Each structure stands twice: as C-alpha cells, then as structure tokens.
Amino acid sequence: MASDAPIPAAQPDRARAASLFAAPLAMLMRLIDWPMQALQRLIGERRMAYVFLLPNLVFFSLFVFLPLIINFIFSVTGGAGLFPSERPYVGAQQYAYLFDCGSFLDPSSCREDHFWRGVSNTARFTVFQVTAMVLFSLLTAVVLNMKIRARGFFRAVYFFPVLLSPVVVALTWKWILQRDGLLNAAITSLGGERILFLVDPSWAMFWIVFVSIWAHMGFYTLILLAGLQAIPADLYEAAEMDATPRWRTFWRITLPLLWPNMIVVIVLALIRGVQTFDEVFVLTGGGPGTATLMVVHYIYETAFANQVQNFGLAAAASVVLGVVLFALTLAQLAASRRKGAA
Amino acid sequence: MAGLSLSGVRKAYGATTVLHGIDLDVTDGEFVVFVGPSGCGKSTLLRSIAGLETITGGSIAIDGADVTGLPASERGLAMVFQSYALYPHMSVYANMAFALENMGFKRDEIDRRVKRAAGMLRLTDYLERKPKALSGGQRQRVAIGRAIVRDPKIFLFDEPLSNLDAELRVATRKELAALHAEIGGTMIYVTHDQVEAMTLAHRIVVLHGGKIEQVGTPLELYNRPDNLFVAGFIGSPRMNLLPGKVIRPGTVAIGAAGHEVGCQTGSLAAGAAVTLGIRPEHLALAAQDGGVPLAIELVERLGGESYLYGASPGLPQVTLRLDGQSEHQRGASVALAFPQQHLHLFDDAGKAVRV
Amino acid sequence: MNRLARMATARRNPGRWHWTDIAAYAYLGLGVVLMFGPVLWLGLSSFKTQAGLLEFPPSLLPMSQKEVRVEGHAQPLPLFEVTMEDGSKRVLAQVRRIGIQAQMIDPANPGQSIRVPIDKRTPVREFKLATENYTEPLERFAFTRFLWNSVFVTAVATLITLVINSMAAYALSIYEFRGKTAVMLMVIGTLMIPITIILVPVYLVITKLGLVNSLWAVILPGAATPTGVFLLRQYMLTLPRDLIEAARMDKASEWQIYWRIVMPLAMPALAVLAIFSIMWRWNEFLWPLAVLTKTEAYTLQIGLNAFQGELQTQWHYLLAMTVVTLLPVALVFVFLQRFITTGIANTGMK
C-alpha cells in the first residue's frame, strides 16, 4: 500500500500559547450556545439563518437604510431643526435653491455658488485625477510585471502610501510644499523663485491631484498587476516566436486582455474621485478661496461647520451626489459582470 | 442497530424529479448497497435517509418511528462522506470526539470510545495528527472511526472508497467487510462501482433514473436480472445484448443472416422484437459451420483469461471470454454457440422474459 | 566588486539589455525617491528642533547649533566658527549680536571679548535628535488621549465587525432560506451607499441614541460592512459543504457549526478583514470629524487635523505626531505586506 505510508507527524499545537485567551472565549461561546440550541429546537435549523443575520441587519437598518429615508425627508424639509418632527415640509424648495443658477457653467451665477464651485472643482479634479491615475498605474503595473529584480520591494514602494491615513498624507505633503519647504529649497537652489504652491489656485489644484495620485496609485496598480499576471505567459511566448515587436504585443495582447481590469480601475477611481474630501480638506482646506472646494466638503460645511447648520440643503446635495454615485456604481456592476463573463 | 423503511420517497428540485417514489425495507444488521450510474439518485436517496435533504413526498421510518420531519442531527445516523469531510483544523482525536462532545458524553467515556475505535482502525499512533498529515487510507479510516464511536442506529456510506487508488480500494473494501462482520450494524452503502457492490452487499439495490430497477442478493442480480438495465449494469465486461426476433416459440433469430438460436421464449408470439442477452463468459466457440460467424477485431490476453471482441453482420460488437491464453488472431473468424441455459431474453419493453 | 556589478546588472532573463529595461529601472528608481522620499523627509524633519525647522534651505539631517556653557553667562551660548581678519579660523561663542556685528568670546578664555562681522561666522552644528517633539505633545497636549481613543475605536470596532459580519456571511453562505436574495440585494445596496451621502441622517440617529461625542458614535455606524460580509461569504462558499453536513450528522448545533467549524476554517478571510478593518478605523476621518466635537473624544486623525489648525507654527510637534499616527500602519505594512497586497488583488477592496 504505497500511498498508505506514514507521513511525518504534525508539529505540536501552537495553540497552547493562545489557550489563555481561548479558554474564556470557549466558555463564552458555550454560554451563548445554550440559548441558541433552545432557539434552534424552537424554530428549526434552517430558520437559524435569520438569527445569524439579525445583528448585521440591525446595524444596516439603523445606520444605512433608515438614514437613507431620513436623508430624503431632510431634503424636502426646511428649518434648522435636526429632528424631522421639528422640520416643516418645503417640497422641492431645497433642490430648487441648489439648482437656482443663471448658467450652470458659471458657478458665480448661482444662488448657492459654493455648491456649484464644489461641483465644478470635483468634476475637474476627477477628470484629471482619473486620467492620470489610470495612465500611471498602468505604466507602473506594466513595469512591475517585467522581468525585474526585487519586484516585491518595488511593488511595496508604490503600494505603501495606500495604507497611510489621509491626514498623514496631507500633512506630509503640506510640509514639503510649504513656503520654506523642501520643494522650494530645491527650486531656489537651482536658481528659481519660490512658489507658494498652496496659495496659487492652479498650483493648488495640481497638487491635490498629484497628492491623491501619490496616495492611491498603489491600489489601482495592484488591480492592474493582478490582471497582467493572469494573462497566460504562453501568449507572450507565442508572440515572441512570431517576432512581434514589444509595443505591438502590448497593444494587441496585453491591453485587450487587461481591459476588464481597466474598466474596474476607471470606475472605482471615478467613484472615489467624486467623493474626494479628506486629503484636500487637510491639505488646502478647500482654498485658496474656493479653488479646491469639493462637493463632499460643501456638504460637510453646510451641515456641520457653518454658523447656521443647514441640514436640509446638505441632505439635498447628498441626494444629488448619491444619484451620481448610483449611476457610477451601476456602471461598475455592469463592468464587473462583463469581467465575470470574460 | 435498527431497521429502515422507506415508502414512496419522492424528491424533486423544482420541475425535475430525481426520486420517483422509492419503497424499500432494510432489516436490522443488513448491509445494503445502492448502486447505479451517476445521476441515478442513489446519493440523493442516501442523503434523504440521512436527513440532509428534505424529501418532497413519502416517508422514512427508522425502527418503526417516522423520522421524515426530523433534521439530520436528530436521526441518530452516522455518515461517511465521499470526501471524508474530516474537520481540517481538528486532530484525529478531536474529529472522532466532536460528535460525542455534542451528545454530552463524559470526558472519560469519550476517551474510551475514541481509543477503542482507534485501536480497531489502527489509528492509535495518529490520534494527535491533523487530517492533512495523514495518508488517504488513514483519512478514510478516521472517517469511519468518526462514525463508529457514535454507535449509530445506521451507518451511511457515500462512495467512501472512490477517492482511493485502485490498490488501496481493494484493501479497504476487504477491511470494511471485516468491520461489518465484527461490529454488525445496519449499513447502507452507495457506490457506482459494481465490484464493491457485489463483494460487500447482502442485498444490492440497483437504481436508475430515480427508480429502483431491482433489489436482490448479488448473485440473484447476476443470474436473474429483471430487465435490460440490470443485465447491462451488473457484470464486467458487460453482457452481450443482441437484438433479435422471435420466429417461433423456442427460437430467436439474430443478426443480418437471421441465425437461429434456441431459447425459452415464454409467452411471446412469433415476430416479437426481443433482446437476447448472454454474458461473455457463457458464449462458446462452435464448429466453424454451426454457429454465428464472428470476425475478430481485437484480442486482449490477460494471462489467465482472454477476451475476444468481434463483429458479426447486423449485431453490435460481441465480447467473448475464453479461459487461458487464446491463440486467436485479429482478422480471423470464429463461430459462436449460445448455450441455452445461460441465455437471458428481454421483451421489447426491456423486461426479462421468465418461463 | 565584480560580483556586485554582476548582481546589479543581472536580469532574470539573461540576455541583452533592451532600452525598455533601462527605462523600467529608471522609472522604478524615480518611484523610490518619489514614494519614499516624502515620508523619509517627514521622519527626519520630525526630529528637528523648532529652530532647525525654520532654516532655509533646510538641512537634510536633524542638526542643531552646538552650545556651550560659559562661566558668567546664565544661558548656554551658541558656538560659531569665525574667520578672523588674518584668515585663520577660530571657534567662538556668541554673547550677543549688535546689528551686523557680533560680540563673541572664546570659551577657553571667557574674559576677552571679540567683535566679529556677522558674515564672517558660521554656526557650528551637531547631529541631534529633538525627541522632545515626541514627548512634549504626549505629555502637555491631549495626544495620549487621542492615541488611546484611536486604539479603542480600532480594536472594538474591528472586533464587532468580525463577529457580526461573519455571522451574516455564515447565514448567507451555508443556508437556503426565504428572503435570501432580498438580503443579498440589501447587502449589495449597502455597498453603494458610502457614509459621505448619509452623513446628516446618521448624525441624527447617533443624536437620538445619545452618542454624540462618544467613541461609540464612531464605532457603531461602520461596524456592519457589506464588503466584509461579501469577502467572508465568498470564502465560506469555498468550504466543503460536506463539512457542514458532517457536523450536522455529528449532532452539532448551528451555533456550534458556526463557532467550531466555520470560524476556524475561515481564519484566512477573517485575518484579511481584520487587517482592513484596522486600517479603515485607524485612518477614518470624515465621520469622526462630523460627530466628535469635544477634544477629549478626538481620535488621532481628528486631533492631528485640529492641531494643525490651531498651531500653524508648531510644525515640530505636528510632524512628530504625524509620525506617531503613521507608525502603527507602517508596522502593519512591514509585517503583513504580502498578505495585504494579495488580499486587495483578490478582492479589489480597499
């Protein structure tokens, strides 16, 4: 019996060290098991599914579904009260106020010009950021997928900022970009003039795009890298046998096969881009002026930071943002379904 | 230990019915094997008995008590899964003790039972190991041990040997037979391997398309198949099934030349379409001018026996088993004789024609 | 030396260098500078003294001017290297500066005062880590409190998330029950609703629960993560059904199956979710910013943000506290990098 030959014994349990922690836990679980068994006898094993679902659903209802409804109620009521009972019904007035614009292309012609500045800034930011993000993460993924030394190290280099908190990211760059910062030191040492990066509106926009790419590129690179590594190596070997030039291999083999991942990256970056807040808030505070004010920042300020808290207007703006996100998410689902089918 | 009784057990998934009213009685201590091709419903039937599937109709009783509505955990049965389903994060000991803990046994009783089962199954040295550090045969024995310790009313086996290699399968088969002889117990065993069925079973239940085709002892099924399906399924290589026609009572014509074979035709009228069945080992060679001519297409010599495969006009490929090492060559021609006492005759509905 | 050169030029695939290989290494080299540089600079800067931070152009390493105690002077005096009129160089301590002249003394001979034009002297500097940047804010300001708040939020929230998400995932992967599709749709729906668009009403719910300015206000809303349910369910679906059925045959209750069979086997997925939850919670910003208004309830992120608003000039503390905030994540990354990256690559979540 060849396959019945003994295999070396397993290592002694590592669990012994953890037993200090495990023993009370096991005790607790046995305590829970007692009422659970009684319940199971009462309702039958199949209906225990509802018991297991319950805690999560309570949380979902309390902190997602209920708020979703309240959000809508807020958006059609006015006044300064927080509780719906204190708020008079105003119909579509909040939305009308929000959309009261001379021209949608010119935020300053709008009643609520900050909202439209936010929309316009967020739109510009998202377009720049997503374009650059896709290009750079694709480039990085392709390079990391080449036959290079220390690939793990380089992948880690590009990835680690993903884990940093937005506050840390923003403060790190703020320190570099400030008037007497490292970057200005480099510029002056090369004979240039100091630039007030976060005071000049177009520089500020450039830097928030740059910093958000710096912080999140690693994430998208990983998704693309996974896609690249899923492309069978023999396709490349076949292309090499056919003496296909590298650029043509990239264009005709890599890119089409990577397309599903590309779509995921684009849509995810869009969804995140539209919700941009944290890094920008800390880095520029929406300034100079309103040059980098984002929609989410507007919502936050309207609801919480302004002297007069306007929950109704913030909720209406949230609903508008929600509609945009919903459309983008549907696009993502469609894209990932196509990915599943491919 | 207990008997089992199924009556009118039906199981349907939406519009597709997989079990069409199964009636079966298993007596205490019996070893029953469900056999059939894949998709015949044998595993579904076993899982219905276990309580892992809820049945659509009919009832299941263990020891006379109706258990149709009881969940698996309350039926008191033990099952050995095809994949063994050993808990990968538990040691062999913990795997075997798990059920006993759930049943609320005292620690020393658990220990006694596990040690006893381990001794029986030669697992004593492996009790502290995790399943992944065991060989295939050892895992198989742990799965059986997990069932034994519980001392269940009925043992259920779902193709327990199919994940073992050929050599080990034969060895484990013998051990299983010995185990049953030792501990007794009602066992229900599902397999698609007819050799397992023939060697292990007291009674075999042949299932096909969600229906029972025949129930009987292994030799009953071999010697007196009720229908074409059982005839073709039991026995290896399979029985030669040759289409023919009754030309007069006691005579069937087969092949393009209408060769006449003497055969009990029962009450069939002349002109009825029939299938003549004969096992390869029962076909005999005839004098060249007297039998059905067969052009040999392939000869397999296994040493102790030889198989001849050949064609005859108007007949499917015919298999013939000869003792010893046949001298016949490919391309040669032989004549076949059909000894009457070994012939099986089936009417055009596939039912055996009994006299 | 030769071996080193070979190692440096070796490629996995021995062959001639293609220009794309050179370009690739150049790009990666640039990447190292651009990605690591800022954080390294943050780390170095955080050890500079307040005066050191004001220097322009800044020095690379945390340097500070050397000082000496001289008899007759209460304060330590800064040391300068002075180029004397005869071209020789001396190290002198500065007593005071008058216009473009500095009054200096030789520490070895404190009696004699020397006047030096200020452009003839350069500070003598030494490498010194200003560790008080770290100790002072933790002692004098509420940063210890913030740190504790962050740790508490992260730990408790992760624990709750793991338990309730795994229970839901267990229900959705093991059972067939009426309404399963509806629940799945609800989970998918939740996936589409980030906190950014329900900020106000969640605030209302928290107010109703009386939790404003409590850490539970931060912990609870995000505890039931749809991503976590999905991740765990996906993993649990890969567990052999036979194991569950074997456990049922073994008379285990459904809770025991969950706790003793499924949870131990889902450990890899639980670990991934735990790591992600820790990162989410540690880094969370917008929601705590909205719901925490009292300083003593601030998490580290909010505290840090508030600190930069209040004390624009105190970069030495701010940088040090930024490093403190970054440190746990950096440690997680160093030890679990491979784990995290494969987790992201497999699930596409963040």
A112-149 pLDDT per residue, tens? 888 888 899 999 999 999 999 999 999 999 999 888 88
| Other beta carbons less than 10 A from residue C330's beta carbon | 16
Q: What is the pLDDT of residue A9?
A: 41
Question: How far does CA B20 lie from the centroid of its chain?
Answer: 19
A10 touches chain B (CB under 8 A): yes
CATH code for the domain in which residue B259 is found: 2.40.50.140
Task: Mark whether C112 and C158 lie in a shared domain.
Answer: no
* Domain around C80: 63-127
Q: What is the pLDDT of residue B326?
A: 85
Task: Mark whether B177 and B85 lie in a shared domain.
Answer: yes
CATH code for the domain in which residue B72 is found: 3.40.50.300
* Residue B98 to residue C247, Cβ atoms within 8 A: yes
Q: What is the pLDDT of residue A97?
A: 80
Q: What is the pLDDT of residue A52?
A: 93
Q: What are phi and psi of B105, to 5 degrees?
A: -75, 155
Pick the last residue of a domain from B184, B213, B232: B232
The DSSP code sequence of B15-77 is TEEEEEEEEEEE-TT-EEEEE-STTSSHHHHHHHHHTSS--SEEEEEETTEE-TTS-GGGS--
More confident residue, B344 or A83: B344
* Residue A300 to residue C286, Cβ atoms within 8 A: yes
Pick the last residue of a domain from C127, C159, C182: C127
CA angle B150, B156, B162 (to 5 degrees): 120
Cα dihedral value C12, C16, C20, C24, nearest 10 = 40
Task: Mark whether C209 and C249 lie in a shared domain.
Answer: yes
Q: What is the pLDDT of residue B297?
A: 92
Task: Mark whether C115 and C156 lie in a shared domain.
Answer: no
Separation in Å, CA of B83 to nearest CA in chain C: 7
In a domain? residue B23: yes
> What are the mean pLDDT values of chain B's consecutive 10-residue runs (355 residues total)?
86 91 92 92 92 91 90 88 90 92 91 93 92 91 91 91 88 89 90 90 93 94 93 90 90 86 85 91 80 89 92 90 88 88 90 84
Separation in Å, CA of A51 to nearest CA in chain B: 18
Residue C47 pLDDT greater than 80, yes or no: yes
The answer to whether B234 and B314 are in contact (CB under 8 A) is no
Distance in angstroms (rounded) separating the CA atoms of residues A142 and A137: 8
Place of tokens 């519009």: B15
Spell out the residues 6+ positions from residue C273 whose beta carbon is closer than 8 angstroms to its own.
Answer: C161, C162, C165, C228, C231, C232
pLDDT in tens, C199-231: 888 988 998 899 988 999 999 998 888 888 988
Query: Alpha carbon of B324 to those of A305, B237, B298, B307: distances in Å?
Result: 99, 17, 16, 10
Task: Mark whether B208 and B295 lie in a shared domain.
Answer: no
Task: Mark whether C257 and C168 lie in a shared domain.
Answer: yes
Going by pLDDT thresholds of 50, 70 and 90, the confidence category of residue A3 is: very low
Separation in Å, CA of C16 to nearest CA in chain B: 46
Going by pLDDT thresholds of 50, 70 and 90, the confidence category of residue C350 is: low
B184 touches chain A (CB under 8 A): no
Q: Which of B129, B135, B167 sits opposite A9 (nearest CB)?
A: B129
In chain A, what is the greatest distance between 2 CA atoms, to the nearest angstrom?
A: 88
Comparing A178-187, A293-302, C38-47, the range with the smallest average pLDDT is A178-187
Task: Mark whether C175 and C95 lie in a shared domain.
Answer: no
C171 touches chain A (CB under 8 A): yes
Task: Mark whether B183 and B300 lie in a shared domain.
Answer: no
Separation in Å, CA of C153 to nearest CA in chain B: 31
Q: Is the dihedral of CA B137, B142, B145, B150 positive or negative?
A: negative
Task: Mark whether C158 and C113 lie in a shared domain.
Answer: no
Number of domains in chain C: 2
In a domain? residue B63: yes
In a domain? residue B351: no
The DSSP code sequence of A112-143 is THHHHHHHHHHHHHHHHHHHHHHHHHHHHHHH
- How much is the pTM? 0.80
Q: Write out the two tokens for A144.
A: 């990391």
* Residue B73 to residue C253, Cβ atoms within 8 A: yes
In a domain? residue B353: no
Q: What is the pLDDT of residue A19?
A: 60
* Residue A7 to residue B128, Cβ atoms within 8 A: no
In a domain? residue B355: no
Q: Is the dihedral of CA B322, B325, B328, B329 positive or negative?
A: positive
Task: Mark whether C122 and C152 lie in a shared domain.
Answer: no
State which residue of chain A sits closest to B132, comparing Cα positions. Answer: A10
The answer to whether A312 and A74 are in contact (CB under 8 A) is yes
Q: Which is nearest to B244 in space by CA: B212, B205, B276?
A: B276
Report the helix count and the strand count for chain B, using DSSP H and E: 8, 20
Q: What is the pLDDT of residue A108?
A: 76
* Residue B85 to residue C252, Cβ atoms within 8 A: no
Using a CB-CB cut-off of 8 Å, the residues of chain C touching A155 are: 341
**Interface residue ranges in chain B relative to chain C, Cβ cutoff 8 Å:** 47, 50-52, 71-74, 77-79, 81-85, 87-89, 98-99, 102-103, 146, 150
The answer to whether A267 and A328 are in contact (CB under 8 A) is yes
More confident residue, C341 or A148: A148
**What is the arrangement of strands in the sheet containing B305-311, beginning at the earlier edge strand?**
B284-286, B333-337, B292-301, B305-311, B318-323
Task: Mark whether C188 and C225 lie in a shared domain.
Answer: yes
Q: Write out the two tokens for A274.
A: 């539209």
The answer to whether B61 and B112 are in contact (CB under 8 A) is no
* Residue C21 to residue A146, Cβ atoms within 8 A: yes
In a domain? residue C17: no
* Residue C36 to residue A180, Cβ atoms within 8 A: no
pLDDT in tens, C88-142: 777 777 777 777 787 777 777 777 777 777 777 777 777 777 777 888 878 777 8
Q: What is the pLDDT of residue A90?
A: 81
Task: Mark whether B58 and B164 lie in a shared domain.
Answer: yes
Interface of C with A in 210-239 (CB under 8 A): 220-224, 226, 229
- Which of B129, B140, B142, B173 best probes binding to A when mutated, by most A CB atoms within 10 angstroms? B129
State which residue of chain B sits closest to C261, comparing Cα positions. Answer: B87
The answer to whether B241 and B317 are in contact (CB under 8 A) is no
Question: What does DSSP assign to residue A200?
Answer: S
Distance in angstroms (rounded) separating the CA atoms of residues C188 and A165: 26
The answer to whether B91 and B130 are in contact (CB under 8 A) is yes
In a domain? residue B319: yes
Q: Write out the two tokens for B210.
A: 């969600």
The answer to whether B160 and B140 are in contact (CB under 8 A) is yes
**Partners of residue B278 on adjacent β-strands:** B240
Going by pLDDT thresholds of 50, 70 and 90, the confidence category of residue A11 is: very low
Q: Write out the two tokens for B40.
A: 């015949």
Q: What is the pLDDT of residue B35?
A: 93
Residue A341 pLDDT greater than 60, yes or no: no
Interface of A with B in 15-74 (CB under 8 A): 44-45
* Residue B52 to residue C240, Cβ atoms within 8 A: no
State which residue of chain A sits closest to B71, comparing Cα positions. Answer: A45
Question: What does DSSP assign to residue A196?
Answer: -
Comparing A159-163, A179-183, B9-13, C186-190, the range with the smallest average pLDDT is C186-190
Separation in Å, CA of C7 to nearest CA in chain B: 40
State which residue of chain C sits closest to B47, comparing Cα positions. Answer: C245
Distance in angstroms (rounded) separating the CA atoms of residues C116 and A243: 75
Using a CB-CB cut-off of 8 Å, the residues of chain A touching B137 are: 1, 3-4
State which residue of chain A sits closest to B130, comparing Cα positions. Answer: A10
Q: What is the pLDDT of residue B25?
A: 93
Q: Is the dihedral of CA B51, B54, B56, B57 positive or negative?
A: positive
In a domain? residue B354: no
Using a CB-CB cut-off of 8 Å, the residues of chain B touching A44 are: 71
Question: How high is the mean pLDDT of chain A?
Answer: 83
Task: Mark whether C181 and C274 lie in a shared domain.
Answer: yes
Q: What is the pLDDT of residue C310?
A: 62
Q: What is the pLDDT of residue B317?
A: 92
Residue A71 pLDDT greater than 90, yes or no: no
Cα dihedral value B50, B54, B55, B58, nearest 10 = 80
In a domain? residue B333: yes
**Partners of residue B252 on adjacent β-strands:** B246, B261
Helix, strand, coil fractions of chain C, as percent rounded to 5: 60, 10, 25
The answer to whether B244 and B271 are in contact (CB under 8 A) is no
Task: Mark whether B219 and B258 lie in a shared domain.
Answer: no
In a domain? residue C298: yes
Number of domains in chain B: 2
State which residue of chain A sits closest to C325, comparing Cα positions. Answer: A168
Task: Mark whether B31 and B83 lie in a shared domain.
Answer: yes
CATH code for the domain in which residue C102 is found: 2.30.30
Pick the last residue of a domain from B189, B205, B232: B232
Residue A1 pLDDT greater than 60, yes or no: no
Helices (H), A10-150: 15-43, 48-60, 66-75, 93-98, 113-144
* Residue A59 to residue C337, Cβ atoms within 8 A: no
Q: Which of B126, B134, B171 sits opposite A1 (nearest CB)?
A: B171
Task: Mark whether B180 and B40 lie in a shared domain.
Answer: yes
Distance in angstroms (rounded) separating the CA atoms of residues A19 and B81: 31
pLDDT in tens, C253-303: 999 999 999 999 998 888 888 888 888 898 899 899 989 988 889 999 998
In a domain? residue C43: no
In a domain? residue C183: yes
Residue C313 pLDDT greater than 70, yes or no: no
Residue C10 pLDDT greater than 50, yes or no: no
* Domain around B157: 4-232
The DSSP code sequence of C284-333 is --HHHHHH--SGGG--HHHHHHHHHHHTTT-HHHHHHHHHHHHHHHHHHH
Task: Mark whether C149 and C183 lie in a shared domain.
Answer: yes
In a domain? residue C45: no
Task: Mark whether C102 and C150 lie in a shared domain.
Answer: no
Separation in Å, CA of C236 to nearest CA in chain B: 14
* Residue A1 to residue B128, Cβ atoms within 8 A: no
Task: Mark whether C73 and C118 lie in a shared domain.
Answer: yes
The answer to whether A281 and C161 are in contact (CB under 8 A) is no
Distance in angstroms (rounded) separating the CA atoms of residues B237 and B230: 13
Q: Write out the two tokens for A104.
A: 């949608």
Residue B191 amino acid letter? T
Pick the last residue of a domain from B186, B210, B232: B232
Question: What does DSSP assign to residue C72?
Answer: T
Q: What is the pLDDT of residue C55?
A: 73
DSSP reduced 3-state for C121: strand
Q: Write out the two tokens for A71.
A: 């959000």
Distance in angstroms (rounded) separating the CA atoms of residues B67 and B55: 11
Going by pLDDT thresholds of 50, 70 and 90, the confidence category of residue C166 is: very high
Using a CB-CB cut-off of 8 Å, the residues of chain B touching A5 are: 135
* Residue C13 to residue A149, Cβ atoms within 8 A: no
More confident residue, B129 or A287: B129
State which residue of chain B sits closest to A40, comparing Cα positions. Answer: B71
Residue A178 amino acid letter? Q
